[in-house]
């Protein structure tokens, strides 16, 4: 490990301890991650993002704290410091995925979801580097919130960027009036909000942490749909444990929840279309058509 003076000095100012070495961490398409070795023997992860919009790292820290409120819920990294220009987290040594760890994560995710929340959030956030509208008008249903706050903003952005064809956009729009009849109404869950494989950290010793939340109150099938969309090692063990834990907590999943995963996968596909282009817009259109 070497030492990047500018990053080190910024971390020292926030942590009040010397940084002896730094090294880049691979991965991530939004922020730059750097491992810090601190003089007091700890290791930390420093996230920076040149030109980050106002509130970017504060929103991530707010989501981590909110998820951490749930006793025996999904583990999240400890926040060491949060500022306008960076976020410092306690370093977690990565391990390997196991079926037992996935099952434990499924159980903990059910506890987090069923701890409950109000629909949306008091403050807007971010998903990736895009703004995420989270404020919910009083009395709005999940179907309305999902259509207006999750699908339509990213459909418009993807269309404006030429990342979704008009016919695929029309298929998505045709699905929206049918959402209330497709997705069962239930109390809002405490969501991670961006729960894909890249935001799941398999730690040494079998503890799995979740990272980079876009947290808000919403339908619990959103997190399950995103895990299924982009794949996760031992996903079946996770979802089986989730089903068992939800039933034990008195809120079993609907028997047809797996058949509805595509409804809530349209949102992350449109986010990806807006960010990266490619075939994500066509995939969103095809999924929407399958429910119409």
Number of helices (H) and strands (E) in the chain: give both, helices first. 11, 11
Alpha carbon 175 to its chain's center: 24
pTM across the whole model: 0.95
Give the residue numbers marked as catalytic.
194
The domain ranges of the chain are: 5-90, 99-290
Look up the CATH superfamily of 99-290. Answer: Aminoglycoside phosphotransferase (APH), C-terminal lobe (3.90.1200.10)
Question: Residue 201's closest CA among 105, 73, 71?
Answer: 105
Q: Are 47 and 39 in contact (CB under 8 A)?
A: no
Q: Are 177 and 156 in contact (CB under 8 A)?
A: no
Question: Residue 18's closest CA among 29, 33, 4, 8?
Answer: 8
pLDDT in tens, 62-104: 999 999 999 999 999 999 999 999 999 999 999 999 999 999 9
Residue with tokens 């030492």: 3
Relative to beta strand 189-191, strand 200-202 is: unpaired
pLDDT in tens, 222-266: 999 999 998 899 999 999 999 999 999 999 999 999 999 999 999
State the CATH architecture for 5-90. 2-Layer Sandwich (3.30)
Polymer length of the chain:
292
Identify the bridge partners of residue 86 per DSSP, sorted by sequence position: 48
């Amino acid at each position: 490990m070497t030492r990047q003076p500018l990053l080190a000095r910024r971390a020292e100012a926030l942590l009040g301890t010397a940084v002896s070495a730094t090294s880049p961490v691979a991965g991530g398409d939004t922020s730059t991650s750097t491992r810090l070795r601190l003089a007091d023997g700890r290791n930390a992860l420093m996230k920076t993002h040149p030109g980050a919009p106002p509130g970017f790292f504060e929103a991530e820290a707010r989501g981590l704290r909110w998820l951490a409120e749930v006793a025996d819920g999904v583990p999240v990294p400890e926040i060491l410091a949060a500022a306008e220009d960076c976020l410092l987290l306690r370093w977690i040594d990565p391990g390997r995925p196991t079926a037992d760890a996935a099952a434990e994560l499924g159980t903990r995710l059910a506890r987090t979801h069923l701890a409950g929340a109000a629909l949306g959030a008091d403050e807007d956030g971010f998903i990736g580097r895009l703004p995420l509208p989270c404020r919910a008008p009083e009395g709005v249903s999940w179907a309305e919130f999902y259509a207006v706050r999750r699908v339509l903003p990213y459909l418009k952005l993807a269309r404006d960027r030429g990342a979704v064809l008009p016919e695929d956009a029309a298929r998505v729009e045709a699905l929206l009036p049918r959402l209330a009849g497709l997705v069962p109404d239930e109390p809002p869950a405490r969501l991670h909000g961006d729960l894909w494989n890249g935001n799941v950290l398999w730690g040494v010793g079998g503890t799995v942490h979740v990272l980079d939340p876009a947290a808000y109150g919403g339908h619990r099938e959103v997190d399950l749909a995103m895990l299924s969309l982009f794949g996760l090692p031992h996903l079946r063990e996770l979802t089986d444990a989730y089903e068992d834990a939800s039933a034990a907590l008195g809120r079993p999943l609907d028997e047809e929840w797996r058949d509805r995963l595509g409804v809530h996968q349209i949102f992350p596909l449109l986010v990806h279309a807006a960010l990266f282009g490619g075939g994500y817009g066509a995939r969103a259109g095809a999924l929407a058509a399958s429910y119409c």
